[in-house]
C-alpha cells in the first residue's frame, strides 16, 4: 500500500504518516488497549501516536526526505468491477460484500493465534517470573526502563496482538506503564522483517529516519505515560 501511495503521486509526507500510523493505530491495537488498560490510557496513546505520525510526516517532507524513496512501481491490473455500459451493478456490490466478509474472517483467523500465544506467554510470566525481578529491571523507579524497553521493542519480531496481552501481565507484575507503552509501540511500529522490506523501498538515510521515528515515539509516549501515571492522571 505504501508503494502504491507513492506510485500514484501521493505526497511523501502523507505516505510517511500512513506508514507510522498504520501499525500503531490499527483497530486491533485500539480495542485491545481499551479492553486491557481502559479508556484513559487508550485515548492518551491514540492522541500521542496520531500527533507524532502527522508531525513526522510534515517534518520529513519539508526536509526533502521524499528524494530518498527508491523508484519502485506497482504492477497494475485491469479493472473488472464495472459493466461496459457504466458503473458497478448489483452483482458487483454482492461480490464486494462477500469479499469483505471473507477478508474479515481471514483477518480474524490470523489474529486469534497471536492473541492465544500472547496470553500463553503472559500466563508463563505471571506464574514463573518473580515480581521483584521485573520491578528491578523495568519498574517506574528505573530511569532507563523506558529507553531500554523501546530498544528491545523496535527490533522485536512480535505482533501487537501478542505483545499487548504480555504487556498487561508485565504491568500487573510491577513494570512501569511507561516502559510497557514503549515496548508496545516499539514492537508494533517496527521489526527486523519490516525494516528489511522497507530497505527495498527506502534509501538508507530514510530507513534510519524511520527507525529513529519509531524509537522516539516509543520513548516520548512512554515518558508521557509515566509522568501522567505518577501524577495520578491515569491509573496504571
For the stretch 204-221, pLDDT in tens is 999 999 999 888 888 988
Q: Mean of the pLDDT values across residues 176-180?
A: 84
Secondary structure (3-state) at 143: coil
Residue-level pLDDT at 84: 46
Residue-level pLDDT at 56: 93
Q: Mean of the pLDDT values across residues 62-78?
A: 72
Least confident of 72-86, 87-101, 188-202: 72-86
CA–CA gap between residue 66 and residue 154 (Å, rounded):
23
Residue 203, C-alpha cell as written in the block: 534509501
Q: Mean of the pLDDT values across residues 15-20?
A: 91
Rg for the chain (alpha carbons), in Å? Answer: 20
Q: How many alpha carbons fall within 13 Å on the CB side of residue 102? A: 6
CA–CA gap between residue 204 and residue 23 (Å, rounded):
21
Residue-level pLDDT at 77: 46
Chain mean pLDDT for the chain: 76
Q: What is the pLDDT of residues 126-165, one digit of tens each?
A: 455 555 655 566 566 777 888 888 877 776 656 666 777 7
CA–CA gap between residue 8 and residue 73 (Å, rounded):
9
Q: Mean of the pLDDT values across residues 15-23?
A: 90
Most confident of 72-81, 184-193, 203-212: 203-212
Residue 143, C-alpha cell as written in the block: 530511569
Secondary structure (3-state) at 118: helix
Residue-level pLDDT at 132: 61
Q: What is the pLDDT of residues 84-134, one digit of tens each?
A: 445 555 577 788 788 778 767 775 676 567 556 655 665 565 455 555 655
CA–CA gap between residue 46 and residue 25 (Å, rounded):
7
Residue-level pLDDT at 79: 47
Q: Which residues, 6+ apart, have CB-to-CB distance to 76 below 8 Å?
A: none
Residue 160, C-alpha cell as written in the block: 501487537
Better-predicted residue by pLDDT, 109 or 16? 16
Better-predicted residue by pLDDT, 77 or 28? 28
Least confident of 102-111, 199-208, 225-234: 102-111
CA–CA gap between residue 102 and residue 52 (Å, rounded):
33
Residue 89, C-alpha cell as written in the block: 451493478
Neighbours of 165 (CB within 10 A): 22
- For the chain, the first-to-last Cα distance in angstroms comes to 36
Amino acid at each position: 500500500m505504501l508503494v502504491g501511495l507513492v506510485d500514484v503521486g501521493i505526497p511523501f509526507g502523507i505516505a510517511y504518516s500512513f506508514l507510522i500510523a498504520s501499525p500503531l493505530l490499527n483497530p486491533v491495537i485500539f480495542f485491545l488497549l481499551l479492553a486491557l488498560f481502559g479508556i484513559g490510557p487508550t485515548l492518551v496513546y491514540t492522541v500521542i501516536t496520531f500527533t507524532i505520525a502527522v508531525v513526522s510526516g510534515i517534518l520529513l517532507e519539508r526536509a526533502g526526505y521524499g528524494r530518498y524513496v527508491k523508484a519502485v512501481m506497482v504492477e497494475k491490473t485491469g479493472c473488472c468491477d464495472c459493466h461496459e455500459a457504466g458503473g458497478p451493478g448489483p452483482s458487483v456490490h454482492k461480490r464486494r460484500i462477500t469479499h469483505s466478509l471473507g477478508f474479515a474472517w481471514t483477518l480474524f483467523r490470523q489474529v486469534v493465534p497471536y492473541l492465544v500465544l500472547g496470553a500463553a506467554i503472559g500466563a508463563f510470566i505471571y506464574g514463573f517470573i518473580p515480581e521483584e525481578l521485573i520491578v528491578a529491571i523495568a519498574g517506574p523507579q528505573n530511569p532507563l526502563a523506558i529507553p531500554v524497553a523501546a530498544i528491545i521493542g523496535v527490533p522485536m519480531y512480535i505482533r501487537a496482538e501478542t505483545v499487548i496481552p504480555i504487556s498487561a501481565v508485565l504491568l500487573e507484575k510491577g513494570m512501569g506503564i511507561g516502559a510497557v507503552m514503549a515496548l508496545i509501540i516499539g514492537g508494533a511500529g517496527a521489526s527486523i522483517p519490516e525494516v528489511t522490506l522497507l530497505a527495498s523501498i527506502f534509501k538508507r538515510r530514510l530507513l534510519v529516519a524511520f527507525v529513529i521515528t519509531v524509537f522516539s515515539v516509543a520513548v516520548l509516549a512512554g515518558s508521557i505515560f509515566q509522568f501522567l501515571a505518577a501524577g495520578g492522571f491515569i491509573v496504571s
